[in-house]
Structure 1
């Protein structure tokens, strides 16, 4: 049973979640991680629509993950099934829960549009993740087919040039924070027009992923034809579509280079996907989105056109209506008066519901979910930050000797809140047997920050004791203490990380001038002794063969630009193919003479192991003439 599993980050793709478990668990081999999670050592997890999810949930002891949440919010299931029927959606979902990997292919979820071979990321997202969580992770939206631009920052995505995702065969997991993968990243170059179109597509793809409870079922191609009729003159009198006009209008909006980037080039013939999407609903979701972008401004706008309903008015777009909004600070002179002009909208991570944050100039901040009825919505509060004006009034009331119940009534706060703030502000009080000193000793109303700092100090001391007792990197990283510090105190952990026994010594600074001279002499000595190295047959003089005979082969293979003297000498001694063939013929000739064998052309060619083709025939003939062989 799995006793601990990482909590998913917002929009973290399932593959990233498994990779983080592999890193936190301290498993050295990926087979061990697959065995922990799925009960089998070999498993092929599809990056877009992974299977065996039911097995994973069943193997967890405390069930920290919800199966429905995992599929909806951490896989590309919402994207690939956005234009499928409810029946097909259920079939795909069942294929992901159970061990039925080949089912997605049957529903037309794959085709000519391929997913990127390399996992993609965004420079700014990496920076934001590191600042907020202490590490980065693979974002789901960045792995959607066709998403080449970040929908949050409008910059091209990057990917590693070192290793493709396909090379992570079967049960291999790719960690986003791996320096080896993010080293020398590649960024796609796009012009301004392509950038705008790519950004627009990325925003639509992100909208689909964010609609976790969106149950709209499209009836393609009927819906497309319905909007085409209202958009322009695309139909003849007999009801047939003017494909030439559709092709030209589509090309006017989407350039050829953009369509090539989206793996969706179009041709004005029967085999074009632009025509097939109007006949049957078997096209890739990417091409459905392109068609919707052609017909309307966005998918939500497309829905309004389908239903013949106007877009929402400005006041309806904000769930809290038009401002200003009231200040709910009872100590403020403008209490319940509309003085707040701006609202900050946020999405609650767990429930995906919208929340508004209202900040007044008096310092009072409150938040409210967009789910309360209008009758009580304006004065309903979820969370509060009271601010300096409220705290000043509390100080005044305590000094004037008001009772606890009276203070709670005037400040509109419960007793626990008043006690906590009085303790934090170090105000002398005595209510129902409780005094300031007693509450401080109990620690009940101690500042959360102080508690965290105390806990942090304790964990640091435990870590130092642990690595003092055990310098084995594998054992200390396989502990809950290591994972807690990695999340909450990453910089300190890196500085106080145990040195592995396998760690290499720091690289010494090399004097390349001297090394070049030494290497030159070494190569000259190897050339002088080359005959001795050829024990049975001639050995071709190449850069690689010389490197293998030198003390440090890397200097000739990796650092060739740092040794100019040696490089110049190598260019004079390295054998060309013709030179090597002549030397082999010479060796074969001498060998036949020594063994008193007949000096025929066939014998010579076979002994020298040279093919008699038009390219080498001239070399062979000249050698035979020089030796007067038959």
Structure 2
């Protein structure tokens, strides 16, 4: 391994503890690949090899790129790309590490992992069949024929599943050119809500919202608990429903409004940590010091009394 260290000023001595590795040696690289092949996590490998996780990720990415030089580039959503995603995930068991190696987001990897059953049972076989047909036949399989074959082999497939199997570009093209025919053969459009009754949806969402609010107040943030503090803890679907259809979800809306933290309650809640912060940085915390801050400026009499009582007791 090659190291580097800098001397300060006119000194010729250097601190060995401040030396850094410029180039890792061949034994280090062999050990890296060996540990990775044993399906150890990046954190474990970093501890074994005495390097930080970003360095380990960088060299693992180079290893994977070297392995797949002939096959690259893989396009997102392609047969090879999806297969590689599942292979990486099976080895690392980490969405984050898989996203690093594939140079994509954690959100994308999570979506593919959640829909793995559909991909492995329907979409991947279809992509493999299509690839095999393209290689064996002189002409590419005609889109309408490909769609009909897919529907015949998978009668329960939803429109979203069909779009994933066929590709958005091909489906969009068919809808433009053969809209009436497509609407006739495709299954009913996917609906975002399973239940047709908003009252049922309201009850379900209120139950979820209750759990979220309890969780937020159990470990409250440093800032005041406001509308989006709670909304951002919901799933994208639940958050969208509450924002776009609040008039149809009265129970959930009422629960949300009741769960918002007033300014007074927030100011009282953070008195202990504010006092602790002042004592840590300034050695003392007095009532005038706290009242002079932006957080407590023009606060109510109730808050002022709480500050005085807390400082007197602590």
TM class, shorter-length = 0.3 to 0.5
What is the TM-score normalised by the length of structure 2?
0.35
Q: Which has the higher helix share?
A: 2
TM-score scaled by structure 1? 0.20
Structure label with greater radius of gyration: 1
